[in-house]
Amino acid sequence: MRMRFAIGLGLAALVAAALPSKAQSPPTPAVAAPPALTAADVAFSRNIALIRGHLLTGDELVAQRNWQEAASHFSFPREEIYGLIREDLRTYKVPAFDWALRELTNTVKARNAKQFAKARQSVETLLAAADTSLKTRQQSWPRYTVAVAMAVLKAAPDEYDDAVVKGRVTRQLGYQTARGLVLQAERMIESVAGEFSSDKAAALAEVRAGFSELKAAQPSVTAPKQAAIDDAAFQSVVGKIAAAAAKLP
């Protein structure tokens, strides 16, 4: 898998401001604004969202009792993504969760339906800790969520391109991964859709229309033999969604 002011005051004014009269109330301590959106934050959240995309796909495959393919999607986060965020977990106050990913993978490989829900919930609880921490760092959670969702969505075309050769789906895993990333990006947008002002309705409708188009092209986690759209068309729709999403924050 392939997986990036200050307003000047005169001296007299400064003295007056520093020495308030007895009649004046003590100044209210300033509350520091949370840090602005940073590339490092987006990169960390993107990796968390990539993990969630694989988990979404794995959930569908487990529901179909397709344990073998599900195991691939549950294994990938620990094998390929966790190492990228390991050193950042302390910064974002997220408990280590490689053990939870390992237990989930082992449960799926053992085809243990009884233990699956518990193992899956353990991972989800720990991922939620990342959301809680990241929210405290953002001035605008909707704006941030849109940025991360688009970073996730833009990873999908490479997976789709890798899966489709001359109009035929030759790599099921890549097809499923692209689909999972689309679903995760859409889920993220919908989680903050209610926060956008009414003047963003048209842009939001464009974003939703694009996601509907991609989902219609990949209606099932089981890949068809013949792809509904080619990789160029897939990339084009992703571009349209990104352009519309840029109007949302």
Instruction: List per-residue pLDDT tens for the chain, 249 residues long.
Output: 555 333 333 433 323 333 344 444 455 555 455 455 689 999 999 999 999 999 999 999 999 999 999 999 999 999 999 999 999 999 998 999 999 999 999 999 999 999 999 999 999 999 998 899 899 988 899 999 999 999 999 999 999 999 999 999 999 999 999 999 999 999 999 999 999 999 999 999 999 999 999 999 999 999 999 999 999 999 999 999 999 999 998
Q: CB 96: neighbour CB atoms within 10 A?
A: 11
Query: The pTM is what?
Result: 0.84
Q: Return the residue matching tokens 């993978």.
A: 105
Cβ atoms of residues 39 and 147 within 8 Å: no
Length of the chain: 249
The token pair that represents 87 in the structure block: 């050193």
Q: Which amino acid is at 24?
A: Q
Burial of 24 by CB count in 10 Å (0-12 exposed, 13-18 middle, 19+ buried)?
exposed
Report whether 69 contacts 176 (CB < 8 A). yes
Tell me the C-alpha distance between 68 and 173, whole Å: 11
DSSP annotation of 33 reads P
Q: What span, in angstroms and rounded, lies between the C-alpha atoms of 179 and 48?
A: 17
CA angle 232, 238, 242 (to 5 degrees): 140
In angstroms, the CA 46 to CA 16 distance is: 49
What residues contact 168, with CB distance under 8 A and at least 6 apart?
A: 225, 226, 227
